[in-house]
């Protein structure tokens, strides 16, 4: 969307008039440096330009026409995980995630990428938001694993990305069959709410049991659960990488679909999706037909753990004698500021011993497609996360985002660690079942 008439300043800017990073937002940064200790890339790379403060400085310089969208500019923009930990740390409330998405949008339009990177990104954006295509590509991935196709890639960087794709795939015996869910599941007992459930893309294909557990737990808590079959991707894959127009198209479909379902709340069990959907009002604010709809919709979106804590999850919960640690998914803890609710729900389960994870909100390196386009740094952040998990002695690591689950599961497999990964809602579902037996 255009930001208005072309001014003299815009003529000097390295950015075009389509979704430029907003001056008001980057000028809110007071360069205090509070963000530096929270930024994984700054801590790993030790470079000021790979910190939030440094990246904001580069964005401002580009907008003022003092630098161009060069290879160096692109490198610093794309080394960012977009974990938004800096937003939690920032005393000025700088909306860094929005600045980064718009800067990356400029990169997409104005920078000529190496051919291999262009192909990789096009492939990811044409597959990940579409569950049917993803299922088909799983079969290709299995063949690639057997043949080691990453070794046939000419470009070294592309070869590393293909290797990570292969390694991310769960073992064949761990990939669940598709779980068909009813369009409408009635509430157990007296209905309290009518809620819609986003089933997601990666979640639907690789973690369908999370959706099934979500439906059961919501139903037990007095919710009529509606799953619109027309729903598509929420737009987070493209949106976080700067593809704002494709993200807007996905957002309009999601808004229309759940509006027609006439629900009180829209429930999401994937952190990245929930963060994106709560931000639709900003994404569509210049759209006269959808600006108000987007704001109304965003106010209805709830992460499932946030919602259950809000309404007061019903018992009886049976005992689960497990030692569990909890990983804070970036777009849940920093994007949605949901930190205490998952822990409170886990602590409510009898017999479950919750051990705090050191650096629980330090990014695991998944970060959308980051682990595929920046495989070396993604691996370093993953190694740090796995080391911290090991120190807890946990049998289960709980997390609320499918990208994190794929990434951390890969890290645990490489270390041959027999630690399970479960969504907190799956643990609640198991506790409800244990309660029935008791």
pLDDT per residue as tens digits for the range 395-436: 999 999 999 999 999 999 999 999 999 999 999 999 999 988
pTM: 0.92
Residues with Cβ within 8 Å of residue 173, at least 6 apart in sequence: none
CA separation (Å) from 293 to 281, 283, 298? 8, 12, 9
Question: What confidence tier does 178 reach under pLDDT thresholds 50, 70, 90?
Answer: confident
Kindly tell me if the per-residue pLDDT of 53 is higher than 90: yes
Per the CB < 8 A criterion, the answer to whether 365 and 81 are in contact is yes
Average pLDDT, the chain: 92
| Closest C-alpha among 421, 218, 406, 258 to residue 325 | 421
Q: Domains of the chain (ranges plus CATH)? A: 8-110 (1.10.1060.10), 115-169 (no CATH), 184-309 (3.40.50), 315-437 (3.40.50.10700)
Gap between the Cα atoms of 228 and 253, Å rounded: 11
Gap between the Cα atoms of 125 and 270, Å rounded: 18
Gap between the Cα atoms of 103 and 64, Å rounded: 14
β-sheet bridge partners, residue 420: 396
Left (φ > 0), alpha (ψ -120 to 50) or beta: where does 130 sit? beta
Per the CB < 8 A criterion, the answer to whether 13 and 61 are in contact is no
Cis check: omega of the bond before 296, within 30 degrees of 0: no
- The alpha carbon of 311 is separated from its chain's Cα centroid by a whole number of angstroms, namely 24
Gap between the Cα atoms of 81 and 241, Å rounded: 10
Mean pLDDT confidence for 172-177: 75
| Closest C-alpha among 373, 356, 374, 360 to residue 408 | 360
β-sheet bridge partners, residue 303: 268
Mean pLDDT confidence for 134-155: 67
Of the candidate ranges 157-161, 252-256, 257-261, the one whose mean pLDDT is the lowest: 157-161
Percent of the chain topping pLDDT 70: 93
| Closest C-alpha among 43, 32, 45 to residue 89 | 32
Left (φ > 0), alpha (ψ -120 to 50) or beta: where does 77 sit? alpha
State residue 225's pLDDT score.
98
Q: How do 223-226 and 184-185 pair as beta strands?
A: antiparallel
Q: Where are the beta strands (DSSP E) in 232-361?
A: 265-268, 301-303, 323-326, 353-355
């Amino acid at each position: 969307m255009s930001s208005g008439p072309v001014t003299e300043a815009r003529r000097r800017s390295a950015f075009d008039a389509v979704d430029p990073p907003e001056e008001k937002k980057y000028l809110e940064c007071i360069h205090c440096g509070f963000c530096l200790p929270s930024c994984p890339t700054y801590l790993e790379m030790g470079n000021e330009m790979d910190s939030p403060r440094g990246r904001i400085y580069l964005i401002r310089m580009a907008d003022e026409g003092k630098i161009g969208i060069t290879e160096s500019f692109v490198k610093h923009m794309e080394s960012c995980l977009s974990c938004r930990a800096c937003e939690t740390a920032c005393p000025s409330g700088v909306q860094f995630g929005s600045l980064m998405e718009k800067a990356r949008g400029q990169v997409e339009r104005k920078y000529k990428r190496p051919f291999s990177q262009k192909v990789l990104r096009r492939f990811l954006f044409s597959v990940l938001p579409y569950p049917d295509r993803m299922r088909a590509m799983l079969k290709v991935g299995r063949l690639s694993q057997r043949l080691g196709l990453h070794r046939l890639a000419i470009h070294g960087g592309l070869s590393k990305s293909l290797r990570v794709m292969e390694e991310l795939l769960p073992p064949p015996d761990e990939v669940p069959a598709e779980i068909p869910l009813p369009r409408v599941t009635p509430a157990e007992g007296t209905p309290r709410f009518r809620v819609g459930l986003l089933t997601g893309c990666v979640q639907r294909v690789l973690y369908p049991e999370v959706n099934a557990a979500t439906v059961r737990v919501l139903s037990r808590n007095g919710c009529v659960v509606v799953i619109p079959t027309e729903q598509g991707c929420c737009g987070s894959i493209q949106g976080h990488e700067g593809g704002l127009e494709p993200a807007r198209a996905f957002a309009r479909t999601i808004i229309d679909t759940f509006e027609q379902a006439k629900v009180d709340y829209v429930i999401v069990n994937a952190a990245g999706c929930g963060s994106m959907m709560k931000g639709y009002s900003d994404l569509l604010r210049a759209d006269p037909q959808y600006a108000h709809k987007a704001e109304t919709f965003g106010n209805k979106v709830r992460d499932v753990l946030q919602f259950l804590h809000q309404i007061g999850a019903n018992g009886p919960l049976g005992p689960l004698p497990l030692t569990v640690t909890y990983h804070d998914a970036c777009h849940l803890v920093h994007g949605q500021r949901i930190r205490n609710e998952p822990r409170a729900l886990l602590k409510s389960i009898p017999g479950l011993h919750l051990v705090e994870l050191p650096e629980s909100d330090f990014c695991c390196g998944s970060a959308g497609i980051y682990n595929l386009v920046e495989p070396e740094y993604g691996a370093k952040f993953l190694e740090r996360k796995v080391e911290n998990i090991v120190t807890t002695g946990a049998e289960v690591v709980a997390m609320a985002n499918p990208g994190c689950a794929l990434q951390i599961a890969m890290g645990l497999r490489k270390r041959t660690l027999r630690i399970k990964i479960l969504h907190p809602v799956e643990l609640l579902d198991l506790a409800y079942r244990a309660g029935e037996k008791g």
